[in-house]
Copies of this chain bind each other. A is one copy, B any other.
Amino acid sequence: MTDSKGSRGRAAAGKRQRLMAAAARVVHRQGADRTTIADIARAADVPVGNVYYYFKTKDELVAAALGEHARQLELLTGRLDRLPDPRERLKDLVEAWVGQRDLAARYGCPTGTLAVELDKRPEGGLDVEAGKVIRLLLDWVERQFRELGLPDPDELALTLVGAYQGMSLLANALRDPGVMLRQGARLTGWLDSLPGGTRL
């Protein structure tokens, strides 16, 4: 009953999907703690009480928001993977970050800021999940550096992703998208300056 193919199931799936998307959006802007179930329901255009039919607890909604961010990330890296040159992939990644500069200057990196918030909770909950999403990005970046044949690809990945998280945080704290623009350009230059070539 209520499978994802029936007409009711489709409507249900639609609402569920809307709730997940809304959770991702609203939690990014307000933070998990300050976001109420009512906020998410309103943003998803779903009646408040109905939410609990799809998600048993608020934390499940926060986890869903995190999942949405992971999905977006995989969508992006999936597109980048179609480029032949790993260096170009990384440069396009930086470009994508810079393209989000206005949102970042107002609310920070969606995954990064959520990770910061969840890490303040007592261990044994969602805190680990946020780390996993960041690991996802870290691993993908590391793979690109490895393909370029560079030494310590894992350290290089930490440097690149760290720089992104740092510039997002500063752009956010200073409310200045220009920080993303200028530091992004610096990162692009750094990527260009690195030795290494595709091994094919």
CB closest residue in chain B, given A130: B173
Q: How many residues in A have their beta carbons less than 8 Å from beta carbons of B?
A: 41
Looking at chain A's contact residues, the main secondary structure is helix
Among A13-21, A42-50, A56-64, A108-116, which stretch is in contact with chain B?
A108-116
- Is A161 touching B170 in the complex (CB atoms < 8 A)? yes
* A131 proximity list for chain B (CB < 8 A): 173-175
- Is B174 touching A134 in the complex (CB atoms < 8 A)? yes
Question: Interface of A with B (CB < 8 Å)?
Answer: 29-31, 33-34, 106-108, 112-113, 115-117, 119-121, 130-131, 134-135, 138, 155, 158-159, 161-167, 169-170, 172-175, 179, 182-183, 186
